């Protein structure tokens, strides 16, 4: 079993839709949770960063962490064609080496 599970998609939605992206994880030591956006032929770009449980909002993006369920989500409101990319969830434990463990990524296509 992978430490971080993520539905690979692809997910296709019409412009303006609300998008929900999710990851589950098995390692209870994870405390820092990130979402990265990766456009084709580009490196991952940090989108959202959350510590422990709770919600964080930044413009059209909302990140949620539920540590009791080991489940994290990213919501995109009013999705735009420019949001078309692969979204990677990633996490870091609170102790030991501070390296990211990634999900496999969900490919999102927003249709104009």
Partner 1 sequence: EAGVAQSPRYKIIEKRQSVAFWCNPISGHATLYWYQQILGQGPKLLIQFQNNGVVDDSQLPKDRFSAERLKGVDSTLKIQPAKLEDSAVYLCASSLWTGKGSGNTIYFGEGSWLTVV
Applying CB under 8 A, which residues contact partner 1?
4, 6, 8, 32, 34, 36, 41-46, 49, 88, 90, 92, 97-105
* C-beta of 3 vs 17, nearer to partner 1: 3
Least Å from the CB of residue 15 to partner 1: 25
Residue 99 is given by DSSP the state -
Least distance in angstroms from the C-beta of 112 to partner 1: 25
Residues 53, 67: Cα–Cα separation, whole Å:
6
Residue 49 or 75: the one with the smaller Cβ distance to partner 1 is 49
Q: Which is nearer to partner 1, 17 or 53 (CB)?
A: 53
With beta carbons less than 8 A apart as the criterion, state whether 4 and 101 touch.
Answer: yes
Shortest Cβ distance from residue 22 to partner 1 (Å)? 14
Q: Which C-beta is closer to partner 1: that of 14 or that of 96?
A: 96
Helices (H) and strands (E) counted in the chain, each on its own, are 0, 11
Phi, psi of 66 (to 5 degrees): -120, 95
Q: Tell me how far, at minimum, the Cβ of 100 lies from partner 1, in Å.
A: 6
According to DSSP, the residues that pair with 76 across neighbouring strands are 19, 61
Task: Tell me if 110 sits within 8 A of 83, measured CB to CB.
Answer: yes
């Amino acid at each position: 079993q992978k430490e971080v599970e993520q539905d690979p998609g692809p997910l296709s939605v019409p412009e303006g839709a609300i998008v929900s992206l999710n990851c589950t994880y098995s390692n209870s030591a994870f405390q820092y949770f990130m979402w990265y956006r990766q456009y084709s032929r580009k490196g991952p770009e940090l989108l959202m960063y959350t510590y422990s449980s709770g919600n964080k909002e930044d413009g059209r993006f909302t990140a949620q962490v539920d540590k009791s369920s080991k489940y994290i989500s990213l919501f995109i409101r009013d999705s735009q064609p420019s949001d078309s990319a692969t979204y990677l969830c990633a996490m870091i434990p609170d102790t030991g080496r501070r390296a990211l463990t990634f999900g496999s990524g969900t490919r999102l296509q927003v249709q104009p």
